[in-house]
Amino acid sequence: MKDIIETLRAGNGRTFINLSAGNPVILPEVEQLWRDCTAELLASNDYGEVVCRYGSSQGYEPFIEAVLGDFNQRYGLSLTERNILITPGSQALYFYAANAFGGYAAGGELKEIILPLSPDYTGYGGVSLFPEALRAYKPTIDLGDQPHSFKYRPDFSQLEINDNTGFVLFSRPCNPTGNVLTDDEVHRIADLAAPHNVPVFVDSAYAPPYPALNFTEMTPVFRPNMLHCLSLSKAGLPGERIGVALGDEAIIQVLQSFQTNLCIHSSRYGQAIAARAIASGALAQIAETVIRPHYRHKFQVLEENLEQFMPKQAPWYLHRGEGAIFAWLWFDQLPVTDWELYQQLKQYGVIAVPGSPFFPGLKEDWEHKHQCIRISLTATDEEVATGVRHLATVIETLYKQSPMPPTPMAVSH
């Protein structure tokens, strides 16, 4: 990311098509919602209480009430104020967990942080003060029935959760791949963790009900040893850093104590305007009618341009688009590394993200992780089309310079 920022700043007279951005698109309807909620807050008697006073380490009370009320009604739950914690972004939440449940215990033993499906969010690589605590598992690769399409699935024949596990963490929908683990897969992971009393953290930054960036049907899973961790960043508030943990009371208490010592509490301004948007139902409605359709359309545009411009015989594969704001491309037996492909794309004025940083905790050097790139769905339709045309040119040249590889040796289920 540092190199990408420096490249964009330098420019050298060139205009780049940035297919790397993680910032959500500022959609007019979403921005207007937050403007309206801000105006309501400024006009209310709550303003001074929100910004001029400290609050509870658990979070701003009206925001907590709005989230609990919505989730209980929407999903038939009976969550109480003991089942929720508001944090300054969901990344902070995983930092608390990594250093409260993972790392070295009092007896000197290492409690591992398990990522059951690699690749996953690159930010998990930095959550622990002890990087050796992170352990990721290779997936199986399902080529499916469609040409140039694939999907990662957890390899339950390899996945191990035991008494040396501190906690389990995965994103659903997944950054970077757009993968959505099925309900059955989530329950199987939780079943492996339950006998050892191991917490399971589900990173739901792209999940329903907000921002609802799932393109396939999915429902949040709640179990005694599980936390549903949502974020309002992709719902239009990345600058306000609002993360929410929902679930097991005992886990919430540990995390709240950690937060109290670290930063007292999360910013209350963002919580105050979000409380209004959630309680009114406006945020969930905009997520379903504006945010989700926008990114689903972008994925379709990318998919259509890949089919049109990519060389037909090249072994390229697009991960099944099930959610999030990214797409994930795999080039089987790529003649160069993902970093070299990234550099060559820059020569054409296109910036994508090399895939290898999205395999944190994977102990073995798996060739596959050097064959992938992540593409953001935040560009315009025209930029996506132009970027794909340049990508196709680079890929065709690379494979022409090298013998065309055979059918990939992936496992298909």
Each residue's pLDDT tens digit, 20-60: 988 999 999 999 999 999 999 999 999 999 999 999 999 99
409, part of any domain: no
> End of a domain among 240, 263, 280?
280
Number of domains into which the chain is organized: 2
Give CA–CA dist 314/329, Å, rounded.
12
* Tally: H helices and E strands in the chain: 12, 16
Q: How confident is the model at residue 259 (pLDDT cuts 50, 70, 90)?
A: very high
Considering the domain architecture, whether residues 12 and 50 belong to the same structural domain is answered as: no
Tens-place pLDDT, residues 321-367: 999 999 999 999 999 999 999 999 999 999 999 999 999 999 988 99
Considering the domain architecture, whether residues 223 and 317 belong to the same structural domain is answered as: no
Q: Which pLDDT score, from 0 to 100, does residue 404 have?
A: 58
> End of a domain among 280, 302, 328?
280
37, part of any domain: yes
Q: How confident is the model at residue 413 (pLDDT cuts 50, 70, 90)?
A: very low
Q: Which pLDDT score, from 0 to 100, does residue 348 have?
A: 94
For the cut 90, the answer to whether the pLDDT of residue 403 exceeds it is no
- The domain that holds 322 is classified in CATH as 3.90.1150.10
Give CA–CA dist 166/134, Å, rounded.
10
Give the chain's mean pLDDT: 94
Query: Please, are residues 178 and 321 in contact by the beta-carbon 8 Å criterion?
Result: yes
Query: Please, are residues 199 and 224 in contact by the beta-carbon 8 Å criterion?
Result: no
Considering the domain architecture, whether residues 218 and 197 belong to the same structural domain is answered as: yes
For the cut 80, the answer to whether the pLDDT of residue 9 exceeds it is no
Q: Please state the pTM of the whole predicted model.
A: 0.94
Considering the domain architecture, whether residues 236 and 380 belong to the same structural domain is answered as: no
Considering the domain architecture, whether residues 41 and 19 belong to the same structural domain is answered as: no
What values do phi and psi take at 87, rounded to 5? -125, 160
Least Cα distance to 232 among 15, 9, 406, 70 occurs for 70
250, part of any domain: yes
Range of the domain at 299: 2-28+285-395
Considering the domain architecture, whether residues 200 and 63 belong to the same structural domain is answered as: yes
Considering the domain architecture, whether residues 214 and 78 belong to the same structural domain is answered as: yes
> End of a domain among 259, 280, 301?
280
Average pLDDT over residues 284-310: 98
216, part of any domain: yes
Considering the domain architecture, whether residues 67 and 147 belong to the same structural domain is answered as: yes
Considering the domain architecture, whether residues 113 and 175 belong to the same structural domain is answered as: yes
For the cut 90, the answer to whether the pLDDT of residue 82 exceeds it is yes
For the cut 90, the answer to whether the pLDDT of residue 401 exceeds it is no
Tens-place pLDDT, residues 312-321: 889 999 999 9
322, part of any domain: yes
407, part of any domain: no
Least Cα distance to 214 among 234, 197, 193 occurs for 234
Considering the domain architecture, whether residues 17 and 97 belong to the same structural domain is answered as: no
Strand order in the sheet with 316-319: 140-142, 149-153, 316-319, 326-331, 372-376, 353-354
- The domain that holds 244 is classified in CATH as 3.40.640.10
Q: Which pLDDT score, from 0 to 100, does residue 406 have?
A: 53
Backbone CA torsion sign across 35, 9, 22, 63: negative
413, part of any domain: no
Considering the domain architecture, whether residues 153 and 263 belong to the same structural domain is answered as: yes
Considering the domain architecture, whether residues 268 and 307 belong to the same structural domain is answered as: no
365, part of any domain: yes
Q: Which pLDDT score, from 0 to 100, does residue 109 have?
A: 96
Tens-place pLDDT, residues 104-163: 999 999 999 999 999 999 999 999 999 999 999 999 999 978 899 999 999 999 999 999
Tens-place pLDDT, residues 189-231: 999 999 999 999 999 999 999 999 999 999 999 999 999 999 9
